[in-house]
Amino acid sequence: MTSTLTLNKITAQKGISVADAAKKIADLGWNPSYVQEAMTFPTDYKITKAPKDPMKQVLRSYFPMQEEKDNRVYGALDAALRGDMFRNVEPRWVEWMKLFLAIIPFPEISAARSMAMVGRLAPGEDLRTGFTMQMVDEFRHSTIQMNLKKWYMENYIDPAGFDITEEAFGKCYATTIGRQFGEGFITGDAITSANVYLTVVAETAFTNTLFVAMPSEAARNGDYALPTVFLSVQSDESRHVGNGHSMLMSMLKEPENHLLLERDMRYAFWQNHAIVDAAIGTFIEYGTTNRDKNKESYAEMWHRWIFEDYYRTYMLPLEKYGIKIHHDDVQTAWKRITEKNYVHKIAQFFSVGWPVNFWRIEAQTDKDFEWFEHKYPGWYAQFGEYWKWYAKLSHRGQTNMLFNADTGYVYPHRCWSSMVPCVVREDIVTDMIDGKLHTFAHELDRWTAVEAFASEYQGRPTPAMGRFSGRREWESCYHDWDLADAIQDLGFVRTDGKTLVPQPHLRFEEKEMWTLDDVRGHTIKSPLITLREMSPEQRETHLAAYRAGFTINPCN
């Protein structure tokens, strides 16, 4: 036997190269001649250049790879139970997972559905395998996340909220934000939704905060399950980023697409910022108990992932293809997070409305105050008293935070575009749509609803563009309802028929838990209906006062 002889040399056989395999598979498609394929999801974009598949992976290697990833995930979940993870997990954190995991499976499965839309529009078959894998990936994400939620429900101290999850998703005043996100992937112009909003912006930019930054915080709170699942999910995203970029490059070849791309990049970036930063920013900053001053704040992570990684290396280079990039939008988003306390004001909104949520929100404490002040100088002066009020009013017998006039908090208007409330009060704008007044969190939100989601854009017909519809202002659904009746209608009552699913604390004693009787006697008012009922003069006065903001009264 010579020293160079190996088993590999004996058993090796000539195989097909990856490039050749991808090429042959891309040749499976053909141009139908008997019956033309139905063009069921229209777009105003013109796409003539076939997108290339940058990954060149085939299903033969894809399925075993995913099975192996799954084995690691499910093995880790078993190990977490054996290691008694829930004994040490921070309930403050897991409670927010009731909201997060109620939202995220729907956008995920919507992304699977949207592959039908781009798959049909993309000329050629080169990227078909990429779309197929993404379709199955998103099916994976949706069901693996539902499984994680079931796992929390089975093992966490308070399963209430997890147990009504998908029903709650359709009803809650906070999940409406997530529905805007998920429906945005599948409705309207097929390229606007399935390519630009989903892949080019949400997946390429914001999954970094969703699926990378958030798992880090989970681990700091003793939750090793969420990082296991979501880092595995994120490992699929690089393929999706490739799909999106390849389609984008095909569209850039047509100069007549450039105006639409400018519009959609603008809409998608701004709305992703408004929605994802509101939700994930709150989970990371307010759902944690870890107050290590050396860790990055959400603002610092945003700068790394969104500003440096996405804006500088992905968005900016698009300018060389002739796309106008709105640098000022990125700067405005950055300033909203750093100077205008966007995330902190959203956390106020989520917590003030705790009775119409379906999870527990605990008050922030001295330890939290210190960290916030360190990371966001001036935080305490603006938010400290609020959270002291929140802690004080978390006990039964107090008037709940949502209706307690002593605090000085003014319930916000809802943005008709992003569904996130107009928490940066000075930026609120109004406009008329179909003869009716609407409120918007920012001029860019007004532009999105009024100018971008319309049948014409800057003189160009856009017949495929979607429309904002439905009963978009959540508060209108319960205008003039008693709070207790609304909670009952929402289904946010435990099976004893009286105890609320949501609680403004993490005290697990029965006597501490709020019931319907504790919240009865307060009438919900829709800010929008109220505004519309005002005379023009009253309205101006109201909006001027709204823009001036409010001051939280001292809590003694």
Partner 1 sequence: MTATQTAPVKSGAAGSAVFADSDSRKYRYFEPRGKRATHYEDVTVDVQPDPERYLLQDWIISFPNGRGAYSKDNTAALSSNWHLFRAPDQEWERTHYQRQSKIEAMVQAVIANGRKSGAPLHFDKAWVRVLQNHLGAWKHAEFGLGTSLMQAQRYGYTQMINNATLTNSSYKLRLAQDITLYLAEIGMDIGNFDDEAGKRTWLEDGIWQGTREAVESIMGSEDYLEQYFAINIVFEPMVGELFRSGFLMQVASPNGDFITPPVISAAEADYERNLANAIDLFHLLAHDPEHGAHNKRLFQAWLHKHVALANKAAAGLQPIWSQPHSKPVQYSDARAQSVERIGKILGELGLDLPKE
Residue 468 interacts with partner 1 (CB under 8 A): yes or no: yes
* Residue pair 163/153 in contact by the 8 Å Cβ criterion: yes
* List of residues 6+ apart from 53 with CB closer than 8 A: 22, 26, 126, 127, 129, 130, 242, 246
- Considering only residues 492 to 521 of the shown chain, the ones binding partner 1 according to CB under 8 A are 494-496, 499, 501, 505-510, 513
Residue 405 interacts with partner 1 (CB under 8 A): yes or no: no
- Considering only residues 522 to 551 of the shown chain, the ones binding partner 1 according to CB under 8 A are none
From the number of C-beta atoms within 10 Å of its C-beta (0-12, 13-18, 19+), residue 445 rates as: buried
What character string, x for contact with partner 1 (CB under 8 A) and - otherwise, covers 176-205? x--xx--xx-xxx-----------------
C-alpha dihedral (434, 466, 425, 169), degrees to nearest 10: 120
Residue 221: φ, ψ to 5°? -105, 20
Residue 110 interacts with partner 1 (CB under 8 A): yes or no: yes
Nearest to 523, CA basis, from 478, 491, 554? 478
Interface stretch with partner 1, choices 109-117, 198-206, 293-301, 523-531 (CB under 8 A): 109-117
- Considering only residues 474 to 493 of the shown chain, the ones binding partner 1 according to CB under 8 A are 474, 477, 490-491
Distance from C-alpha of 374 to C-alpha of 378, rounded to nearest angstrom: 9
Residue 319 interacts with partner 1 (CB under 8 A): yes or no: no
Q: Of 106 and 546, which CB lies nearer to partner 1 in the complex structure?
A: 106
Total residues at interface with partner 1 (CB under 8 A) = 132
Interface stretch with partner 1, choices 65-73, 299-307, 398-406, 542-550 (CB under 8 A): 65-73
From 109, 260, 337, 343, residue interacting with partner 1 (rule: CB under 8 A):
109
Could you count the other beta carbons within 10 Å of the beta carbon of residue 509?
6
Q: How far is the CB of 535 from partner 1 (least distance, A)?
A: 28
From 18, 75, 83, 88, residue interacting with partner 1 (rule: CB under 8 A):
88
Interface stretch with partner 1, choices 84-92, 198-206, 238-246, 306-314 (CB under 8 A): 84-92
Residue 432 interacts with partner 1 (CB under 8 A): yes or no: no
SS3 of 476-502? HHCCCCEHHHHHHHHCCECCCCCEECC
Please state whether beta strands 429-433 and 436-440 pair in parallel, antiparallel, or not at all (unpaired): antiparallel
Residue 433 interacts with partner 1 (CB under 8 A): yes or no: no
Distance from C-alpha of 462 to C-alpha of 65, rounded to nearest angstrom: 41
Q: And the tokens for 499?
A: 């105890």
- Considering only residues 116 to 135 of the shown chain, the ones binding partner 1 according to CB under 8 A are 116-117, 119-120, 128-129, 131-132, 135
Interface stretch with partner 1, choices 207-215, 251-259, 385-393, 431-439 (CB under 8 A): 385-393
Interface stretch with partner 1, choices 88-96, 253-261, 298-306, 326-334 (CB under 8 A): 88-96
Distance from C-alpha of 359 to C-alpha of 356, rounded to nearest angstrom: 9
Could you count the other beta carbons within 10 Å of the beta carbon of residue 91?
18
Interface stretch with partner 1, choices 141-149, 237-245, 310-318, 529-537 (CB under 8 A): 141-149
Residue 448 interacts with partner 1 (CB under 8 A): yes or no: no
Q: How far is the CB of 528 from partner 1 (least distance, A)?
A: 13
Residue 156 interacts with partner 1 (CB under 8 A): yes or no: yes
* Residue pair 433/449 in contact by the 8 Å Cβ criterion: yes
Residue 87 interacts with partner 1 (CB under 8 A): yes or no: yes
Please state whether beta strands 436-440 and 456-457 pair in parallel, antiparallel, or not at all (unpaired): unpaired
- Considering only residues 219 to 248 of the shown chain, the ones binding partner 1 according to CB under 8 A are 222
Q: How far is the CB of 308 from partner 1 (least distance, A)?
A: 31
Residue 384 interacts with partner 1 (CB under 8 A): yes or no: yes
- Considering only residues 24 to 53 of the shown chain, the ones binding partner 1 according to CB under 8 A are 24-25, 27-30, 32-38, 40-41
**Cross-strand bridge partners of residue 493:** 500
The DSSP H or E segment spanning 456 is: strand 456-457
Terminal C-alpha separation, the chain: 88
Residue 70 interacts with partner 1 (CB under 8 A): yes or no: yes
Nearest to 90, CA basis, from 296, 313, 332, 368? 368
Residue 382 interacts with partner 1 (CB under 8 A): yes or no: no
Distance from C-alpha of 252 to C-alpha of 470, rounded to nearest angstrom: 33
DSSP 486-551: HHHHHT-B-TTSSBBS-BSS----GGGS-BHHHHTT-B---HHHHHHHS-HHHHHHHHHHHHH---
Interface stretch with partner 1, choices 267-275, 391-399, 524-532, 546-554 (CB under 8 A): 391-399
Interface stretch with partner 1, choices 105-113, 263-271, 403-411, 425-433 (CB under 8 A): 105-113
Q: Of 169 and 350, which CB lies nearer to partner 1 in the complex structure?
A: 169
Q: Of 130 and 334, which CB lies nearer to partner 1 in the complex structure?
A: 130
**Cross-strand bridge partners of residue 482:** 523
Instruction: Determine the residue type at 363.
Output: A
Interface stretch with partner 1, choices 294-302, 427-435, 440-448, 470-478 (CB under 8 A): 470-478
From 163, 296, 309, 431, residue interacting with partner 1 (rule: CB under 8 A):
163
CA torsion through residues 382, 100, 397, 89, sign: negative
